[in-house]
Amino acid sequence: MAAASVTRKRKAGDARGSGGGGKSNAGRRESPAKRGSHAGAKYIGAHVAIRGGLWEAVESSAEMGGRCFALFLGSQRSWTRSALDPEAARRFRERCAARGYDPTRHVLPHGSYLMNCGSPRDDVFQKSRAMLVDELGRCRALGLGLYNFHPGSSLGSITADRCIQKIAGAIDHAHQQVPAVVTVLENMCCQGSTVGGQFSELKSIIDRVRDQSRVGVCLDTCHAFAAGYDLAAVGGVSAMLDQFDTEVGLHYLKAMHLNDSKGKLGCHLDRHEDIGKGQIGISAFQDIVNEPRLDGIPMILETPGR
């Protein structure tokens, strides 16, 4: 079984409560990103829209009280995009500075869902690799230090090991083209022929990347639960982190996505639910907030309807 064996379950009653959080009246007050910036702080925020310009994402995050945020760097529906406007990049960097966000550590751009850097189809692989380079270049222009993306899928046509080799090769290629930005692999839910659902698969990708100082992991709680890591059990969060440390290494953990799960443990379905309303339950997220090993990294809410 993927997760550590922890059998005592929390009461179903802990499904009450919410970790979501709508917009507050923070408006013109000092940005929460500026407050309490000691080493032990938790950085929790949301995935925000880029309607109106990339810089507006900064304002949206600050207004809802986020101490970090995630965003897409462009349309999720097209392989081709217009070049990044230097003025837009400048305004984004200025807004981050004004609102107290460190773009190298606490802004987590999410990669395009079109990408499949492990695809057995050469045309898709080449387009995915080119998009990875393009998105890292955008991160560089925006002053961002992290870039989160889904590793890829074999589509059932090649072995998982060959898929992992292709993903690592795409990362190496992108690293050669664009300096500094850390590529952050997201754990998956073991759905179909995707790779990255097991911690061992993430480690296999990392092991094949030449510059391992520029690779990390974003743990998605819904994906982990759907893959079989039992966060709903008493001690489940700690057990998962222990296992991650053993199989991958906690120094590779760069971010988290905080999502409850519509599906049951080990369902292999990527179905996010509002925090406290799903199968994981609110207590696990309370444990996450109180877990010192998760200090200092961006933790992003991706719940439905947010």
> Which CATH number characterizes residue 207's domain?
3.20.20.150
At 116 the pLDDT is 99
Residue 32 lies in a domain: no
pLDDT at 38: 35
pLDDT tier for residue 303 given thresholds of 50, 70 and 90: confident
Single-letter code of the amino acid located at 264: K
Burial of 187 (0-12, 13-18, 19+ CB in 10 A): buried
Distances (CA, A) of 289 to 42, 192, 237, 294: 7, 31, 10, 8
What is the spatial distance between Cα 111 and Cα 129, in angstroms, rounded to a whole number? 12
CA distance 197 to 164: 12
Q: Per the domain annotation, does 121 fall within a domain? A: yes
pLDDT of residue 77: 87
The β-bridge partners of 187 are none
Lowest mean pLDDT among 31-35, 96-100, 248-252, 267-271: 31-35
- The three state secondary structure string of 245-293 is HHHCCHHHEEEEEECEECCCCCCCCCCEECCCCCCCCHHHHHHHHCCHH
Q: What is the CA radius of gyration of the chain?
A: 19
Q: Is residue 306 part of a domain?
A: no
* pLDDT reported for residue 23: 34
CA separation for the pair 167, 151 (Å, rounded): 7
Residue among 98, 92, 35 nearest 66 (CA): 35
Q: What are 245-271's pLDDT values in tens digits?
A: 999 999 999 999 999 999 999 999 999
Tell me if 109 is assigned to some domain: yes
Chain centroid to Cα 217, Å, comes to 8
Task: Provide the number of structural domains found in the chain.
Answer: 1
For residue 20, tell me if it sits in a domain: no
Residue 12 lies in a domain: no
- Higher-confidence residue: 100 or 36? 100
Across the range 70-79, mean pLDDT stands at 94
Q: Which domain holds residue 156?
A: 63-301
And the tokens for 35? 């407050």
Mean pLDDT score, 152-179: 99
Task: Indicate which residues carry an active-site annotation.
Answer: 77, 110, 113, 150, 186, 220, 223, 257, 270, 272, 302
pLDDT band, residue 200 (cuts 50/70/90): very high
This prediction's pTM: 0.87
6 is a domain residue: no
Specify if 169 maps to a domain.
yes
Average pLDDT, the chain: 90
